[in-house]
Structure 1
C-alpha cells in the first residue's frame, strides 16, 4: 500500500499546476558537488602479501560548510565502506585527520566535523595468497554537508582506488603522495602520521594511533529514527563519576554494609599492623580485579562499535529495558537475584584454606558472590549504560573504565578502615536507612528502564511508548517513590514490620520526587521538558498518517492525504520537508514552531504535512517530491501550497520566529487569496 501512495504522490505532482512560488525565503543551496570534492590516492596503493596498508582519500569542503566526522555524536556522521576489493584484500579499520570539535549552532550540542581539507584512510590487510598485480578497489562514502542554516540530504559518492599487490610481508601505508617503491624492493610508503591522520593501527601498522572502527562510521540507515543523543551523555568524566557513585551506593546496601566491619576485623586479627594493612590492600586490589575482569569481558564482547550497535538496535534496547526492570524489582525487594548458596560456601571455604595471594583473591570473589543480590542491579545497570551511552573511539573502553571505577569505590573503604581501625566506631549502624536507599535506587532504575524501552518503540515505530506516555509513566514512578519515602507504600518488607520513621532524609527525598513530577508535567501535553529531554522520546517522533505533535495534527509521510484534506476544506497546505538526522530541523521544530508569533499561524485553518527525506525506503521518493515542489533538496525546507496544489511559498533554512511568521502570513494569504477573489 505504501509504494502505491508514493507513486501516486509523484503522479499527482506531474499533473499539478506548474507554477513557481510567489516568493522564496532563504537562499537556494549550491550543487552538492560544488561543496564537497572527494579524491583518491594519486598513486597506486602498494600492498605487500601478509602486510597492511592505508588507502587515503582526500576531501575538500567549501568555505562556510562542514562535513560531519566519522565519530560525530550528532548530525550526519560520515560513513566509509570499501564496497569492491580484490580477492585476498580486506578493510580492517578506518582513520581520519583530526576533526574540528565544535558546538552545533542549532542545538548547542558538541559535534565533530571537517570544515576544510581533510583526509580519511581505509586500512587494508592482505593475505599471503592474494593475487599479485594491479587491481581496482571502490570505496563508498556517505556524508552530510551543512552550513549554519541548512543541511543537504546525505550524499553518496564512490571513489576508485588503484592497488598494486606485490610479494613480501612488510606493512606499508599509502596516501595521496605515496612514492612508488623501487622495482624489486618490498613496497613502502609514508608514515600515516605524515598525512595528519589521528586514528589507526592495524595489525603491523608502523605508528600507534587511536582507531575508529568501521561500524562506528555513522548510524546505520535502519536506525535513522533513533533519537539523536550527545556522544556519551556526560562524557567519560561524567560516566566515571556515575560509576564511582554506583560503587559507593552498592556499598551502602543491606547485603554489603554489614560485611564491612566483619571483613576489616578479619584483617585486623594479625598482630602486625603492617601485615594487616597489606592484606587489606591486597583484598582491595583483588576486588578491583574481579569486577574489572567483568568489564574487560564486556568490552571484548562489545568491541569498538558496541555503543553504536546498542543505540541503533531495538532488540538490544528492549533486552536492556527488561533487564533494568528486573534490577529495579530486585532493589525494591519484589524479586530476589541470588546465586546458589553452595557457590558462596565453596569459595569462602577455599579462601580460608589457602593463604597468600590466591586466598586473598578468593576472599574478593567470595564477597562478590555473597553480595550479588545487591550489587547485580548496580553492575548490570552500569554495564548497560556503558554500552548504550558510549560514543566515539573510546566507546569500547567504557565497560572496562566503569567496572574499574565502580570496584575502586566499592573496595576503598575496606582499605581505609584497615589502615585506621578507629574509624569503625564512627560508621553508622545498620538499619532501615539501608533499605530506604536500596528502594529509592530501585525507583531510579525503573525510570531508567523506560528510556531503553521507548528507544525500541521509537525505532520499530510501534507508537505505544510515545512521549506523553513515557512522561506519564515517569511521573507515576516518581510519585510512587515519594509515597515510598513517606512510608505510605511498603515494598519487600516482612508482614507486621512497624512503619518506618520519616526523618529529614526521607522527607527531602520525597520532596525531590514530587518536584520531579512537577518538572515533568509539561511533557504530558507534548511540551518540552528541558531538564529531562535527553531521557525522553523526541518532541517530533516519526510516525505514519495524521499524528499529533503537541496540539497540532500532522500528516506524516502521507502527502496524498494532506493534499486531499486541503482540497476538501479549501485550506492552505503547509509541508515540512524534514529529516531524522537534521539538527536544524529539530531546532526549528523545538524553538520556532512553538513561538508565540508562529504557533497561532500553524495552528489555524491550515493542513500540515511532514515528509522525512533522509530515511529508507521512502526518503528518495520524498526527496524527489521536495525537489519538484521547491527546486531544492536542502533541509529544513518548508512549502505552502494552495488548496488546488499550487506552490505559493518556499522557505529553506533556519529563521527567527518573526521571519518565519512573516513568511507564513504572506504565503497563507497567497494560498487562499484566489479563493476569496
Structure 2
C-alpha cells in the first residue's frame, strides 16, 4: 500500500509533465492579433483586426461554420453610447476544402494572415473607447486548441487638424467679384481700341433705323452669350483640377509669358493678330438671314472683326482667371468683359442723340493700344518669374525683376510725354493734360520701385515680385533675433520669408519642435502663389506677427510646387489621388490634401508636437490683427508635453 501511495503521485506528475510537454511543443498561441483604427470615408472609422497565423495552423470563417465541428470566429463589439456599428465585420475571401473528418462538410478558413474590418460611426467628436472581444479556435491538420478569447480595448482620439473646408484656390470663389471686375475693366479698355470704337456709330445707326432698342438689346445679349460661352468652354475643357494646376506649372507659365509678349508686341504696333478671313466671310453671310439668327451673327462678326484688338485682352483675362483655379472664373471674367462691351450699343441705341458727344476716332485710339502693350509687357514678367522660381533657375532674381520693370515703366512714362514715338502711332509734339498727369503717376511708380533694388519691401506690388529672400545679395538687418540661431535651420535660412528660421521638411521640423518644446506653424505655400507673397510681405513683416513667428513657433514651409525630384524609393502612388508622387511638391500637396482635405495656398495650421491642432486653420488672411489673434490663440492652447 505504501508503494502504491508513492506510485500514484509520481504517475500524476508524469501525466501532468507529459501534457505540459505536449502543449509546450506549441510554444505560444499560433495566432497573433494586431488592432488598428483609422478614418474612413465620410464620417466613419475603420477598425482593422489583423490575424497573423503560424504556418500549419488556421482559424475559421465567421459566417460558414461546420455542424458539430470547430467553432467559427466571433467578433463581439457589444453596445456603446459613443458609437454605432455600421454593418457586420467584413472578412476577406476564405480558403475552403472538403473536410472528411466532418462528414465531407465544407470547411472555410484562413491561413497565414487575414484582416477583418468593422466600420463604426462615432456619436461624438471627442475621444472614444472601443471595447470588443474576438473568440476563435486555432486548428491544425491534427488538432484544434480550445476556444480562445482576445479582449480588445482601443482608444481613438480624432485629429482636429483634419478640418474639412471648401476647396479654395489662390483666386477662388470668394474672389470672383475681382475676376468679374477685371473682366469689366478689360471690356471698357477694349471699347477704346480702334477695332471696337469705330464700330459703335455704324452699328448703333443700323439699329436706330431697323428695330431700335429691342434689336440692340438682343445684339448686346448675343455678345454676352458669345464671350461667356468662350469662358465656359475653357472651364469644361480643362476642369477645375487642371485650372488649379496651371498656377504652379513652370512650363505652362513659360508659355503664358510668351503669349503675353506676343500680345504686347502686337499692341505696340509690330503686327496685328487676326483670324482667318473665311471665318469672317461665313459669319457675315449669316447676318443676311435676319431675325434673331441674323442679330446673333452680327455680334459674332463684331467679335471676329475686333479680335486683333480684343484678342490680347481676352487672352490675358482668361489666363488670369484660369490660373486662379476657380471653375467658374473664366466664365465670370468673360461675363464682365462682354457686359462692358455691350453697354454702349444698348445705351446709344436708346439715346441716339448721345452719339454726337462721342469722341471722334483718331490717333488717340492707337495710343490706347500702345498703353495696353506696355502693361501687357510688364505683366508678362510675372509668368517668367514663376517659371524661374519653380525650377530654381536663378536668372530672374528680385533685383533683376525690379530693374526690368523700372525700364519698362520709364519708357511708358516717356511715351506719355511724347518723347518716345513708335512708327505705327506717332504722337503729337504737344503733350495733353491727361498725358502729363499719366506720366507723373508712372514716373512716381518708377521712383517707388528704385529702393526695391536695395531691399525695400515694395508692399504695393507684393505678390507680383519674386519673394524677398530670392535676391542677388543678402543685407544684414542688424536684428539679432532675425539671425539663424542653430545649425538645424541654418541651411534653410536663405529660403525663408522675412529672414525667419524655417524648415522645408515636415519630419525634420517636427523633430526640432519636439526638441525645443515649441508649437508648429505649418505653412502650405507655393513659389507661384500670389497671396502667399502678399501674406509674407504685408502680414508677416508686421513686428508683432514677426516676433511671434520667430520666438514662439517652429515654422515649417512646404512648397507644393517644388520640382525637386524625390529619391526613387520615395516615389510612390498616392493612396489619396492614385497619382504618382515624383517631386517634393507632389509630396507636400498630397500630404495637405490627405490630412487636411484642402489644396489651397496659403494655408496655415497651428499644431502641437503630437500633431494635434491648436486652433482652426486659416487660409489667406490679410488683416494683421486677425492673424495676430490666430497666432496668440495657438500659443495659449499649447501645452508642453511631459
The TM-score range, normalised by the shorter chain, is: 0.5 to 0.7
Give the drift of 1:299.
Answer: 1.1
Q: Is 1:56 aligned to residue 43 of structure 2?
A: yes
CA root-mean-square deviation: 4.6
User: Is the 1:576–1:611 contact (alpha carbons within 8 Å) kept by the matching residues of 2?
Assistant: no
Deviations 1:355-382 (A, max 9, x none): 1111111111100010000000110000
User: Is the 1:253–1:437 contact (alpha carbons within 8 Å) kept by the matching residues of 2?
Assistant: yes
Residue correspondence of structure 1 range 470-549 to structure 2 within 5 A = 470-493=401-424, 499=428, 501-541=430-470, 548-549=473-474
Match of 2:213 among 274, 277, 295: 277
Give the drift of 1:251.
Answer: 0.9
The answer for unaligned runs of 5 or more in structure 1 is 1-37, 42-53, 59-131, 137-159, 165-173, 179-196, 200-209, 219-229, 564-573, 597-609, 624-630, 635-652, 656-677
Secondary structure class of the residue paired with 1:303 = helix
Deviations 1:546-570 (A, max 9, x none): x6334689999x979979xxxxxxx
Residue correspondence of structure 1 range 73-88 to structure 2 within 5 A = none
Specify the alignment match of 2:254 in structure 1. Answer: 318
Residue correspondence of structure 1 range 115-514 to structure 2 within 5 A = 134=90, 176=122, 212=167, 231-232=171-172, 235-270=175-210, 275-351=211-287, 353-390=288-325, 395-493=326-424, 499=428, 501-514=430-443
User: Is the 1:440–1:481 contact (alpha carbons within 8 Å) kept by the matching residues of 2?
Assistant: yes
Distance 2:297 2:352 in 1: 23
**The structure with more helix, counted as a fraction of residues:** 2
CA distance 1:585–1:507, change in 2 (3 Å)? closer
Deviations 1:610-668 (A, max 9, x none): 99777764989xx9xxxxxxx9899xxxxxxxxxxxxxxxxxx999xxxxxxxxxxxxx
Secondary structure class of the residue paired with 1:318 = helix
User: Is the 2:489–2:502 contact (alpha carbons within 8 Å) kept by the matching residues of 1?
Assistant: no
User: Is the 1:287–1:407 contact (alpha carbons within 8 Å) kept by the matching residues of 2?
Assistant: yes
Distance 2:91 2:474 in 1: 53
Secondary structure class of the residue paired with 1:455 = helix
Distance 1:388 1:406 in 2: 18
Deviations 1:15-61 (A, max 9, x none): xxxxxxxxxxxxxxxxxxxxxxx9525xxxxxxxxxxxx63368xxx
Question: Which deviates further from its counterpart, 247-256 or 574-583?
Answer: 574-583
Distance 2:278 2:539 in 1: 60
Residue correspondence of structure 1 range 560-639 to structure 2 within 5 A = 576-579=501-504, 581=524, 590=541, 617=566
Distance 1:163 1:439 in 2: 68
Give the drift of 1:492.
Answer: 4.6
Deviations 1:439-488 (A, max 9, x none): 11111111111111101110100011111111111111111110111111
User: Is the 1:243–1:405 contact (alpha carbons within 8 Å) kept by the matching residues of 2?
Assistant: yes
Deviations 1:513-567 (A, max 9, x none): 10110111121123210100121111123x9xxx6334689999x979979xxxx
Distance 1:135 1:405 in 2: 57
Distance 2:390 2:291 in 1: 53
Distance 2:269 2:196 in 1: 15
Distance 2:226 2:91 in 1: 50
Q: Size of the alignment, in residue pairs?
A: 395
User: Is the 2:459–2:537 contact (alpha carbons within 8 Å) kept by the matching residues of 1?
Assistant: no
User: Is the 1:134–1:163 contact (alpha carbons within 8 Å) kept by the matching residues of 2?
Assistant: yes
Deviations 1:126-184 (A, max 9, x none): xxxxxx99479xxxxxxxxxxxxxxxxxxxxxxx99689xxxxxxxxx96569xxxxxx
Deviations 1:210-254 (A, max 9, x none): 974xxx7x9xxxxxxxxxxx5459922222111101101101101
The answer for unaligned runs of 5 or more in structure 2 is 1-36, 46-87, 93-114, 125-161, 492-498, 505-522, 526-531, 548-554, 568-583, 589-607, 612-629, 633-642
User: Is the 1:302–1:387 contact (alpha carbons within 8 Å) kept by the matching residues of 2?
Assistant: no
Question: Which deviates further from its counterpart, 576-585 or 356-365?
Answer: 576-585
Distance 2:558 2:182 in 1: 38
Deviations 1:413-459 (A, max 9, x none): 10111111111111111112212222111111111111111011101
Distance 1:295 1:399 in 2: 5
Secondary structure class of the residue paired with 1:535 = coil
Where relative contact order (Cα < 8 A, 6+ residues apart) is larger, the structure is: 1
Deviations 1:253-288 (A, max 9, x none): 011101100001111222xxxx32111111111111
Secondary structure class of the residue paired with 2:338 = helix
Distance 1:363 1:135 in 2: 67
Give the drift of 1:346.
Answer: 2.9
Q: TM-score, normalised by structure 2?
A: 0.53
Give the drift of 1:342.
Answer: 3.5
Distance 1:531 1:523 in 2: 11
Give the drift of 1:588.
Answer: 9.7
Give the drift of 1:305.
Answer: 2.4
Distance 1:284 1:175 in 2: 55
